[in-house]
Chain A
Amino acid sequence: MFGKRLLPLAIATAVGIGLTLALVFFYAPNDADQGFVQKIFYVHVPMAIVALFGFMAAGIMAVKHLRTGDQRWDMRSYVAIHMSIILGVGVLVTGSIWARAAWGHWWVWDEPQLVSFLIVFLLYCVYYPLRFSIEDRERQARYSSVFAIVAGAFVPLNFIAVRLAETFTHPRVLGTTAGGMPGSMRFTFIVALISMTLLFITLMKLELTSKRASDQLKRLRRKLEAQAASA
């Protein structure tokens, strides 16, 4: 019943997450400035990056749907947004915990990175009522794709806004020039980012497989009902 390559993907994800945790707690040194609390960085930042790239990938999938008319691209776009929203919840909660530990506040409204991520998150929360308020499947897919493209184009602004922001209240560990992070921290971060990407792909594939199986089941039931009616 499960899609091809799901098992090796799931194993790679589990190994990646295990390796990441080992590197975070036994290899990467404590931050000189923030101390042990900086370990939150290795879960918070990869989640944020993968969620934002997930939103953009959903936009690209939506373009493919509009160009080809293939409903599978719409479903992929929907699942990518769904997964990114779930990661987005994680980003907001872990970010709040980190903010409380590092700055003494659960939320800082004048911090552009936090607020811009919240805006992106809330924007995508609108996707669900928009999608499910349309009953006709084709119109639903078309309107959802248009939303995913427009919102996906807005996401890079989140990155640009942060880079242009003058305030440096938010911890800037990913510098634009070399030397922002020691090698061991950088390596741990890259492993964490790869693991988070693998987790995203695995969960997306799992959700898509479950949706496809559910659709096939519905079709089978309809066929059987039609046969029973004609007999």
Chain B
Amino acid sequence: MPALPLEEAGKYVAGAYGVFVVLILVYVAIIGAKVARIEQELETLNDLVDKRAT
């Protein structure tokens, strides 16, 4: 198959690199959400300990 013209090839290249970026961003967002949940649980536990202390 002959090489595609730049404007058409550009769409495929942008698509491939876009998939890579989206994949990493989604993964980092999921990890971010997990860390936020851990932080929230830590706050809850901290409050619990404070209540017991008083």
Contacts and interface: CB of A to CB of B under 8 A. Distances in A.
Interface of A is mostly: helix
A203 interface: yes
Interface residues of A, number: 36
24 contacts: A1-B38, A33-B3, A34-B3, A35-B3, A35-B6, A36-B6, A40-B13, A40-B16, A44-B16, A89-B23, A90-B19, A90-B20, A93-B16, A94-B19, A94-B20, A97-B12, A97-B16, A97-B19, A210-B34, A213-B35, A217-B38, A217-B45, A224-B48, A224-B49
A33 B1 CA distance: 9
Nearest to B8: A101
Interface string A120-155: 000000000000000000000000000000000000
A103 interface: yes
Nearest to A213: B38
A35 B38 contact: no
Interface of A: 1, 31, 33-37, 39-40, 43-44, 47, 86, 89-90, 93-94, 97-98, 100-104, 199, 203, 206-207, 210, 213-214, 217, 220-221, 224, 228
Contacts of A86: 23, 27
Q: Is the interface of B mostly helix, strand, loop or mixed?
A: helix
B12 A40 contact: yes
B42 interface: yes
B24 interface: yes
A103 B28 CA distance: 33
Contact of A35 (B9, B31, B45): B9
A119 to B, nearest CB: 21
Nearest to A87: B23
A14 B17 CA distance: 15
B46 to A, nearest CB: 10
